[in-house]
């Protein structure tokens, strides 16, 4: 089956997560994604277990891409970028908002070179505002947009970071939506565009419960983990709803005398104790717990450590984790492409690239450069470490 983005050329200048994740998804959909890194490489090349000299983190976010290593501080490095832009459909970058202009490769400059170019820029706080120059990583955005405070309020624990970089991945996915919309529009108009995404905006719009805070209300439904004979289970629905079902379907009693004046806190404590007894003793094993939950139509999930995600039946059936080349003669696991089509293909097509692995191949295939032309810019390829460019 054909890949939906086959023939699309993507130049990926991004680092760490938000930009690289967007580029990885484009690669899974068939685009030729060339990651352009400074000579010292993306910092994530040092994160996680290395196999075939590729770290786990870099592997997950950059599988399927090709790679060239270019010093953007060198005049010939900028020449390489501008030459590649002439052939590119898409450029991805996630520097701070003023960095591309300082390098001389801002959208206005590149659009003159290639009016059909679609540029995706992802930054923490967006361009042209007092926060634009602030360093922004996912934990900072989680804190500034209320996610960490909400988690602390719900759990009663001291504020702590979230266990995933949702601000980055949300920005990447919203960036993909905008980018693909611009590609569709270009098919009619012939004109490219600049898609500018802030992690703050992406986090705010993706927070389905933000309306409570904006309108001065409490946080709404709180889902909880319950102790059961089936182990720790996350049950969907606040406890008030679950208790109502336990009473109506299984006639569970809190044991309180209706004639006595019992305070709300004591009522809740008694009902929680009765609920725990039902799920741990009345339902004596896993099958009984699951049968009861299904009868009450309560959605449930095992509190599963991430290393056991492969044991989830749907993950097995859908091959949600696949094995790809580990660049050392074997394979290593990676999250598979999430897109399943009826008539089109989507897949992780290769392992992540080594730094500068495709310098010559990309310059010849994208630009049709000769050996002499490549030699003319070799001073900008894999030279001294780059300093002063902020991400």
- Both tokens of 279, joined, read 């799920």
Q: Is residue 368 among the annotated active site residues?
A: no
Catalytic residue of the set 42, 168, 193, 326:
168
- Both tokens of 72, joined, read 């953007």
Shortest CA distance to 242 belongs to which of 262, 214, 272?
272
Total Cβ atoms within 10 A of residue 365: 15
Shortest CA distance to 28 belongs to which of 374, 339, 353, 311?
339
Residue 362 CA to residue 164 CA, distance in Å, equals 34
Helix, strand, or coil (residue 30): coil
The DSSP 8-state label assigned to residue 331 in this structure reads E
Burial of 213 (0-12, 13-18, 19+ CB in 10 A): middle
CB 60 within 8 A of CB 38: no
Beta-strand pair 118-123/193-198: parallel
Angle at 222 between CA 216 and CA 223, to 5 degrees: 160
H-helix or E-strand containing 226?
strand 224-228
Helix, strand, or coil (residue 207): coil
Q: Which residues contact 184 (CB under 8 A, 6 or more apart)?
A: none
| Residue-by-residue DSSP string for 124-178 | SS-SSSTTTTS---HHHHHHHTTHHHHHHHHH-SPP---SS-HHHHHHHHHHHHH
Shortest CA distance to 254 belongs to which of 271, 279, 242, 278?
271
- Both tokens of 150, joined, read 């909400």
Positive or negative, the Cα torsion across 157, 163, 167, 170? negative
Helix, strand, or coil (residue 301): strand
Q: Which residues contact 2 (CB under 8 A, 6 or more apart)?
A: 30, 344, 345
Residues with active-site annotation: 168
């Amino acid at each position: 089956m054909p890949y939906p983005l086959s023939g699309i050329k993507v130049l990926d200048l991004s680092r760490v997560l938000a930009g690289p994740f967007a580029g990885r998804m484009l690669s899974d959909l068939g685009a030729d994604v060339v990651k352009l890194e400074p000579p010292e490489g993306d910092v994530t090349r040092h994160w996680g277990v290395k196999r075939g000299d590729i770290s786990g983190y870099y592997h997950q976010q950059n599988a399927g891409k090709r790679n060239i290593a270019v010093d953007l501080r060198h005049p010939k490095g900028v020449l390489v970028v501008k030459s590649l832009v002439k052939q590119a459909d898409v450029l991805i970058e996630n520097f701070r908002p003023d960095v591309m202009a300082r390098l001389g490769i801002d959208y206005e400059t590149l659009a003159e070179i290639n009016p059909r170019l679609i540029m995706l820029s992802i930054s923490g706080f967006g361009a042209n505002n007092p926060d634009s120059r602030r360093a922004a990583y996912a934990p900072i955005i989680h804190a500034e947009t209320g996610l960490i405070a909400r988690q602390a309020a719900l759990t009663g624990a001291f504020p702590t970071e979230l266990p995933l970089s949702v601000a980055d991945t949300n920005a990447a996915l919203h960036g993909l939506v905008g980018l693909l919309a611009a590609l569709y529009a270009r098919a009619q108009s012939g004109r490219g565009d600049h898609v500018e995404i802030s992690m703050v905006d992406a986090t705010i719009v993706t927070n389905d419960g933000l309306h409570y805070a904006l309108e001065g209300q409490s946080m709404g439904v709180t889902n909880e983990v319950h102790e059961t004979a089936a182990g720790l289970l996350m049950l969907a629905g606040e406890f008030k709803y679950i208790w109502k079902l336990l009473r109506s379907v299984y006639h569970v009693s809190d044991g309180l005398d209706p004639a006595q004046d019992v305070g709300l806190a004591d009522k809740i404590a008694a009902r929680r104790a009765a609920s725990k007894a039902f799920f741990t003793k009345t339902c004596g094993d896993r099958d009984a717990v699951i049968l009861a939950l299904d009868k009450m139509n309560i959605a449930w999930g095992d509190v599963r450590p991430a290393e056991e995600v492969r044991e989830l039946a749907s993950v097995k059936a859908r091959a949600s984790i696949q094995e790809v080349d580990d660049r050392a003669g074997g394979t290593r696991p990676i999250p598979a492409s999430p897109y399943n089509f009826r008539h089109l293909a989507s897949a992780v097509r290769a392992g992540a690239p080594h730094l500068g692995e495709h310098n010559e191949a990309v310059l010849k295939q994208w630009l049709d450069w000769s050996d002499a032309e490549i030699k003319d810019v070799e001073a900008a390829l894999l030279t001294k470490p780059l300093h002063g460019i902020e991400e």
